[in-house]
Chain A
């Protein structure tokens, strides 16, 4: 158990819908990262937050947004969902940016 929790574990929704994925980092970790893993794209870095502020941005679509709240939990919002958004979404946390990351179990999103 990494200490990072993600909810929900599974999510099935339809194209055009909007979903919110939630992540609670390990106690004491200030950085939160979001990744998307699909069979054809591999593990893609989406975005990183550090103590509530956006720190680094990767291949995150405009339809996706994220934020980190004062209690350090983070949410990833995916809107206008497309079939291609079906993937495993991982959250990870670390004490600071650049340190070892602890990954959550992931949320499996299926868009029908």
Chain B
């Protein structure tokens, strides 16, 4: 199956709630990145976490990385309607420097 698989595929929550998305991968990685995409637009980089880091914060975003389980999670706290988008994780291969593999994404809908 595909490197960088997000879970769930779709998530619908109310404004103000927290949203958690998960990503699993298979190979050894250099770093893992999360991106956001509004419908039909280019992806926007949110956060990068290196393989020797366990947790990283950026505003309302919190990313964790567990290299032993080959998984990462993205938590968006106090969600807003404007957070409605698709979220992708991307793994950067440790053996094929620079090669990024994106998952299929989680579609998040935040209802006002």
Contacts and interface: CB of A to CB of B under 8 A. Distances in A.
Contact of A56 (B35, B40, B96): B96
Contacts of A90: 42-43
B98 A106 contact: no
- Size bracket of the B interface: 20 to 34
- Size bracket of the A interface: 20 to 34
A100 B48 contact: yes
B8 to A, nearest CB: 15
A31 B99 CA distance: 11
A54 to B, nearest CB: 11
Interface in A62-104: 88, 90, 92, 96-104
A82 B72 CA distance: 37
Interface in B24-64: 30-31, 33, 35, 40-45, 48
B98 A56 contact: yes
Contacts of B40: 88, 106, 108
Interface stretch (B11-19, B74-82, B100-108): B100-108
B45 A102 contact: yes
B99 A104 contact: no
A43 interface: yes
Contacts of B43: 43, 90, 92, 101, 103
Contacts of A103: 35, 42-44
A33 B97 CA distance: 13
Nearest to A47: B99
Interface of A: 2, 4, 31, 33, 35, 42-43, 45, 48, 50, 55-56, 58, 88, 90, 92, 96-106, 108
21 contacts: A2-B42, A2-B44, A35-B102, A42-B104, A42-B105, A43-B104, A45-B101, A45-B102, A48-B100, A55-B97, A56-B99, A58-B101, A90-B42, A101-B33, A101-B35, A101-B45, A102-B45, A103-B35, A104-B42, A105-B41, A106-B41
